[in-house]
Structure formats: C-alpha cells, structure tokens
Structure 1
Amino acid sequence: MNNVITANKVVNFIEQWPQTRTEPVCAFIYDLQALREHAAFRVQSLPKQCRLFYAVKANSDIEILKQLTGIVHGFEAASLGEIRKIREVSSSVPILFGGPGKTDLELAGAIEHRVSLIHAESVHELQRINLIAQQRGTTVQVLLRVNLHSSFPEATLSMGGRPTQFGIDEEEVPEAIRLALSLPAIKLEGFHLHSISNNLDAKRHAELVSLYFSRVRQWAEEFGLTVSVLNAGGGIGVNYADLERQFDWDTFTRELQNVLDEQAWDGLQLLFEPGRYITAACGWYASQVIDIKRNHGKHYAIVRGGTNHFRLPVSWQHSHPFEIIPLPHWPYPIPRTELEDAEVTVVGQLCTPKDVLAKDARVPRLRIGDVVLFRYAGAYGWSISHHDFLSHPHPEHVYLV
C-alpha cells in the first residue's frame, strides 16, 4: 500500500470540504483502492497451500466487506450478526465461525447460513454443535480450538499460552479428539491455534506456525487423524508507535514457505484470519478542533467526536499517530487560538478524562478550526466504540474509490 498516495488523497478530500458547512468536520474516511491493493497482494504472495480469511471483527462495515469479497478467500465471523452481514454481501463466500461463547441460536444460524467451519471452543460446545446438527439432519465440519501450553512471541494480546477464555486446554485435547471422532454429526477437519494478537515480528510469527505444525502432527499421529485444515489464526500486528516500521510481510512469506517445505503434508490447507492487518492502514479518522486550552500547565485540543467514535487509543492505552490538516476558513469575528511548537493532548467531547486520543504530542502548529487526521484508523475504531454515549451525532463515513 502506497501510504504517501493514500495520505495525499485523503488530505485533498478534507481540504475540499465545503467551507459553508455548519458542523465541524468529523468523519471516518476509507481509501477503498488502497484496501483492495493491500489485500490482493497479501493473498497473492502467500504460499499456494495457504488461504487468507478476513476477520470481520476488525471492521464489519458493509462497504469494506464488499470490497474484500472476491479478493480474500473468505471471512471469519465471531457472531451470528457478523455471519448475517457477510451473507448480505455474498450468499456463497466461505465463512469460518469462532468465538468463546456461541449460543444455540448462533450455532443453528451458522448451520443455516452454511458456514464452512465452526471452531469448537470446548467439549461442551462440541457436544451442542453435534446435537443441533443432528436435529437438522446434517454434518458439521469442525476445527478444535486449542490453548497451547507454550511460550509465544511478545505481542499486545495473548490468547493462549496462559489462562484465558479461549480454546480447549492442551491437556484436554486427547479427550476432545476422541469425543469429536465419536459424534455422528461432527466431521473433525483439523485444529485452530490462535495464540497471540498484534505480533510485529515476522520471523517469530513463522516460527509460531512451525510450533503449530509440530503439535498438530503429534495429535494426528497419536489418533490416526487425517488433518486437512490447520488454522493459524490472525495475530499479525500494526505498529502504531512507528508507522514506517510495519510487519515485514516479505520476510514472513519467505520463512513461512520454509516451514511448509519442511512440515506440511499433502492435502493440507493452512488458514490465516487477520483483521487489523488488512484494514487498519486504509482508514482515517478526521476530527476538527473546536477548542484549545491550557490547564495545569498542559495544552489540550478538543476535537469534534472522541473515543465514542474512535475507541482504539484508549482501549489499547496508546497515543494514536496523527497529522494536522490546516484549514484557512475562520468564520468568527474573534481571535483564532493557536499553538506553535508545543506539546498537546488531543481529546474528544465526552464528559470523562479518559476521552483521550493522543497524549503530549508535539505539533509545529495547531489552530482551532484545523483538522486532526488520525492514521491507521481502519480497524478496531468505529466498530468497537460506544457510539451513543452522551448521544453525540455519529461521524460521517466517506469511501474514496
């Protein structure tokens, strides 16, 4: 993805925003061409045994799903609502269904909507999948999600290797395999091992896949399994602290090919289901400064919107990267407050001190009326935010083609 071209396209759009508008600028802006090109390159450069699914949880916007349909091999859903959104876009695209707490309604809906694979997160869930499938006179293809007892590369979130709500404890895997093989409406296709999230080390990520292979091979040999699918999850990260140093995809695919050459077997499909890594860079959150003040020795820029729109910074407890788009229009017959070469904390309109988007960031110049443009806002922004807190208006959603 050419971030310079994308940035110029977004900046040009904001600078052309009508000066006659009465409300401050507040919008999520998506470069759909950049999204398509980024996703297509990742799909095309993976080894031939691999399939790339997009994890809808990162951004479930219907327009995003439309753009990715036909590029990625399918979608990963974590709720019946996400499954329905996917089916709204395509009646036939493959769907993986995961999540640690699936209700009977969701499992029945997954079967009704013809998902390709269900990730069973516990022995109890495996039994319920079987019962619901029997009631419908069908067989369901299942992967067992496993929480391994291993050390993993450092990442922002750990889904496995320690106590979490995700997956079947590795010690209980033999019991789960025996049960799956005995259930008449279950077809055990393989395993799902998604242990970390937001990993930035490409070489270590390939090593993680190698570890997955070794564990799955042990189970296959012990139980005489034909494993056709190994789902290595997502977990590929985005570096918000240094946007110019991102996950090295070329190194990853090169190392991954070595892993496959050494460990893969005939008939195996290796699945990946990234979310953040696919959509983060194509999205921008633009919010106009409505006030600048100094309080207890610190400068604050208050922007239209806030964490009720873009919750990622406070959720991940980081200062989100941004740039400033100076807008010349000034509609008031009063002085225009500005900062020069100063540190500023960018906050929203909410009545809570936690409504912080960027903290103590140095800016060369910032004025009331300028637009703060947050980069890499295409994942876990709008989709995870508490939209109606204080009942402020929602942002606009703009799609650049």
Structure 2
Amino acid sequence: MATDRELAERYGTPLYVYDLARVRTALEDLRAALPQPSRVYYSLKANPHPGLVAELRRGGARAEVTSRGELAAALAAGHPAAELMYSGPGKVRAELDEAISAGMRTFSAESFGDLERIGEAAVAQGVTADCVLRINAAGAPGQAGLRMTGAPSQFGFDLDGLRGERARLLARGTRIVGMHFFPLTNARDEEGLRAELAQSVRTAAELRDELGVPLHLLDLGGGFAAPYATPGERPVYRELRTALAAVLDENLPGWRDGEPVVAFESGRYLVGDSGRLVTAVTDVKHSRGKDYAVLDSGINHLGGLSGLGRLLPLSAQPLEPGPEHAVDAPDEGSVTLAGPLCTPADVLARAARLPGVRSGDLLVFPNVGAYGLSASLLGFLGHPAPAEVLVDGGETVSATRLALTRHAVEPFDGLRAKDANPMTETTAATATAPDATAPAWDEAYESLLHEVLPRLSAKGPLRPDSSLKAAGLDSLAMVEVLVRVESEYSIAIPDADLVAATFATPASLWRVVSALREQTVGPA
C-alpha cells in the first residue's frame, strides 16, 4: 500500500489521487438516501476521468453528458449510448448529430429552439428523440446552494412561456416523455434539499395535468452536497428517502411501478471525497508583513475560478516535512498559498494555518475529486497537468496524465476536402435526379456502401441516384467510405475530387472510383 509521499516520489508532484473504494461507498450512500426504485445519473462535468466513470457504471449508475467530449468519455467507459442523458443549453447540430449517430435517444430540452434542433437532427437520421422538458420553476423558500433556476436563466423553460406556447412542444422528430428539474446544486442543508425536491415533484404533477404532456421519466436533478478542498465528510441524508417517497406517493402514485421512472443526478457527492491533490512547496518567503508559500500547483490545476474568490477558502493539510528547509519558514500565524503562475490571481488559500511550513514539504488538498483538474485553467501558461493516479484498496490501478495537444484542422472534420462543408453544399438536383449514365459497379462496391450506410436502399437494389446524405453520410461515415473505397480498389482519391458532388450519390462516387481504377489497371 503506497503512501502519498511514495506516490509523489514515483510520479512527481503535483499529483491527483482518486480512491475507487470511496466512489463505491458514495454511490451506496446516495442510493440508501433516495426513495426506491429510482435511477442515478452521474454528471460527468464533475470529473470525466475514465476510471471514475467506469467504476460508477459498474455500480449501476447511468451517465449524464453535456458535450461531445463527455459523450466520448461515457462511451469509452462502457456506458450504452441508449442509456445516456444529454443535457445542457446551447446544443449545436454537430453534437446532436454525433450523439444520435452513436445511439443516444434521450435529451433534456432547455427551450423551444433547443427542442426543435433536437428534432431536426433526429429527423435527419430517421429516428425519434425522447425529450424531457427542463423546467425553470420557482425554488422553495429557505437556504440553498448555487441556484440554477427560479430566476432569469439560460436553463430550462419558464412556466409562463411553456403554458403560452405549448403547441410548439409538438416538434417534429421529438417525443415528450417527461420533465427535468435541477433547481440548485450543493444544497446547504437536508431540509432545504427536501423542500426543493418535493416542490419539483408537485410542479411536475401539476404541469402534467395542465399541459397534458406525458410523464414517463421524472429527472429531479440533484443538489447533493460535498465538501470542496477542505476537510470534512459528505452529509448523511437521514430523512430524505422517507419524506420524498411520501411526496411521490401523494402526487405521482404510480412511481413505485415505474410510471414515472424517478431519476436523480449527482457529481460532487459521488466523486468529491474520492480525490486529493498532493502538491509540493517550492519556496517560502516573507513580503511586506505577510508570509507566502509558493506551490508547484495553482489555479491551473485546482478550481480555476478560485483566483476570482469564487472557491475560497481552500484548506491544505501537511504531510511530514521534506528534506529541504527554508531559513525564513514562518513559525506562527498564517500563510498565503500561492501557485506558480505569473498572475496575482493564482492564490489557492489565504490565511492558511501552516506554522513551520518549509520548502520541500508536501501539502494535500482533500475532497477535490469533483471540479478539480478538469474545471481548472489547465491551458494557462503551459505547465504540464498533474499525474492522476487511481487507487483501490491501497493498490495502484492506473496512472495517467492529461495532455493538451494542437493538431491541424482541415475543413469538414479533417477530411482532405477543399469544400468548407461538403455535406451542406449538395444541391437538390445532384441528390435526387436520376443518373442514367452511371457505370455498373461490382458487388464489393454495393456491399461496402450498405455496410457503412445501412439505411441506403434498404429495400431492393441500390439506386444510382440515391442520396448518400439522406442515407446517413455524415463526416465520420464519409471518412469510413473514403478509406474503405481506397483500400478495396487500391486507389487514392485526389483532393480535387474530395468535394460534395463526389459523395452525393452512389453513381457520382463510382464514376470517380472507376476513372481512377482505369488509370491504375486499365479498362475493366
């Protein structure tokens, strides 16, 4: 069983350590606090580390994602796409296309425009998207953490707007299946959390009856608290399960039989206490009446907004002193913990009680498994990311380092095309007009297109004038077709031919392939 000092010697500092045993315990504790049956979604924004995401999947949690990167992380961790929830404002067509193509079908809609964009993406791929409506309702009175709704916000439908334009809920390509609430995060006390969740249940029942919308899935969000970068324990919610079950029984009596399915989301509660940041003191100095300890980690690795005072105060705990010592180490009083960045905003803690701190000492910030590295200013000033070590039962499971890389970007997702966007430049005439002059292709070509594009001429033989775009030829499928065609026929399609017109129909692509084959091996 390696100690933090041994891990630091092995992998260097700064160093994040995540304990998978704590993740399992947190999931068990949360389930014990919630009414059953219910579903738990892990919010990847808290920490998308693949090891943590995979551990929660093994424990039966589903995943809630808000970006293409989080979608990729969830899929890589083994989450089935059909079980994911996609939420967040500002969804763009490209990410919706990618999510639906991957097999996602459940989305949280934040506005009428968001709902319509989801529907357009679904129609383009010949599917229907199941949508829950995120509701921006008034919050319960009393103490709360960071409030997400109940005020003017980019999150969710205002109730007045929803009631006034409910006909717009019939967006083509979508099916309303329920509602989504997330009024606050990191609730300050159990009483306030119970009140918020209970009010969401009552609002959902009222809207279901008033608007006549189905309520098969009720996502009540979260708000489950956890300490951040300070010592402490996750709260134990002793009365939440019984109290919330009573509210559900009163307002939605079918919930125990899964109508609706009741779901909750959590990030910080599930992974917050699993992580700690080990950092080394590189210098200790006295400046104009104040003592400073300069660390090898700062707001680039821990809570990027801490430099603006949003996350202060943080708290570090010392390990045993290291081998190096500063002559002017403070013996009493407080010390400011500053990071290595060239900005006065890089301060992790003010007035930290660390008497005798010296250069070479190791400090530990506890409870930073959520909103740590991935929520920080990692790209600022170019310092490398800390190593991230997974441990389980004292044994090291893995050690990785996140890296920011720069790569060349070509138009249209890296395809070697000259077009800025070949998928949107296909003309109606090209896509639909019969092509009587198309040469006959071989069975390998037809089989290849059917394998990559299963919706292409599902009934009967392949038509020369079929629209490849309508059959699902997006950027990823286009690259796959290109690679497989070049491999099958030992050709290299030149950049000049990598344009929208080439990939418009089976006939247009085959003409290019056939011409290149003749140049290579002569007429067939």
In structure 2, distance between residues paired with 1:383 and 1:65: 14
Matches of 1:52 and 1:301, distance apart in 2: 41
1:322 to 316, 329, 339: 316
Q: Work out whether 1:392 is the aligned partner of 2:383.
A: yes
The match for 1:309 is 301
Instruction: Quote how far apart the aligned CAs of 1:170 are.
Output: 1.4
Q: How many residues align?
A: 385
2:503 is matched with none
1:285-313 per-residue CA deviation (whole Å, 9 max, x = no partner) reads 11000001111211111011211011254
Partner of 1:310, secondary structure, is coil
Offset, 1:183: 3.2
Q: Of 113, 120, 133, which residue of structure 1 is paired with 2:122? A: 133
1:46 corresponds to: 34
Kept in 2: contact 1:145–1:191 (CA 8 A): yes
Mapped to 1, the partners of 2:218 and 2:212 lie a distance apart of 16
Secondary structure at the residue paired with 2:334? strand
1:72 to partner: Cα distance:
3.9
Q: Could you say what secondary structure the match of 1:365 adopts? A: coil
Aligned equivalent of 1:283: 275
1:271 alignment partner in structure 2? 263
Match of 1:195 in 2: 183
Structure 1 SS opposite 2:331: strand
In the alignment, is residue 15 of structure 1 matched against residue 9 of structure 2? no
Residue 238 of structure 1: how far off its partner (Å): 2.1
Q: Note if contact 1:321-1:374 (Cα within 8 Å) is conserved in structure 2.
A: yes
Identity %: 28
Question: Structure 1 length normalisation: TM-score?
Answer: 0.89
Give the conservation status (yes or no) of the 8 Å contact 1:54–1:72.
Answer: no
Mapped partners of 1:116, 1:74: distance in 2: 14
Does the 8 Å CA contact 2:145/2:186 hold for their aligned counterparts? yes
The CA RMSD over aligned residues, in Å, is 2.3
- Equivalent position amino acid for 2:329 in 1: E
SS of 1:171's equivalent in the other structure is helix
Structure having the higher Rg = 2
3-state secondary structure, aligned to 1:340:
coil
The answer on whether the counterparts of 1:200 and 1:238 sit within 8 Å (CA) in structure 2 is no
Residue 196 of structure 2: aligned partner: 208
Letter in 1 for 2:154: Q
Which digits, 9 at most, give the CA deviation of each residue in 1:197-227, with x for residues without a partner? 1112112212211111211111211233331
Does structure 1 residue 61 correspond to structure 2 residue 49?
A: yes
Give per-residue Cα distances to partners, 1:45-102, cap 9 Å, x unaligned.
5222321110000101111111111214300101122111111111516211111100
Q: Decide which moves more: 36-45 or 120-129.
A: 36-45
Q: Provide the C-alpha distance between the structure 2 equivalents of 1:138 and 1:122, rounded to a whole number of angstroms.
A: 21
Distance 1:202 1:79 in 2: 31
| Distance of 2:54 and 2:286 partners within structure 1 | 45
Partner of 1:106: 95
Contact 1:325 1:372 in 2 (8 A): yes
1:172-214 alpha-carbon deviations (Å, 9 max, x no partner) = 112454322x334211111111111111211221221111121
Residue 252 of structure 2 corresponds to residue 259 of structure 1: no
**Cα distance, 1:234 vs. partner?**
2.2
Distance in 2 between residues matched to 1:45 and 1:154, nearest whole Å: 20
User: Is the alpha carbon distance of 1:44 and 1:114 closer, same or farther for their aligned partners in structure 2, counting shifts above 3 Å?
Assistant: farther
Structure 1 gap segments, 5+ residues each: 1-8
Q: Could you tell me which of 289, 299, 308 is aligned with 1:297?
A: 289
Query: Could you tell me which of 102, 105, 118 is aligned with 2:107?
Result: 118
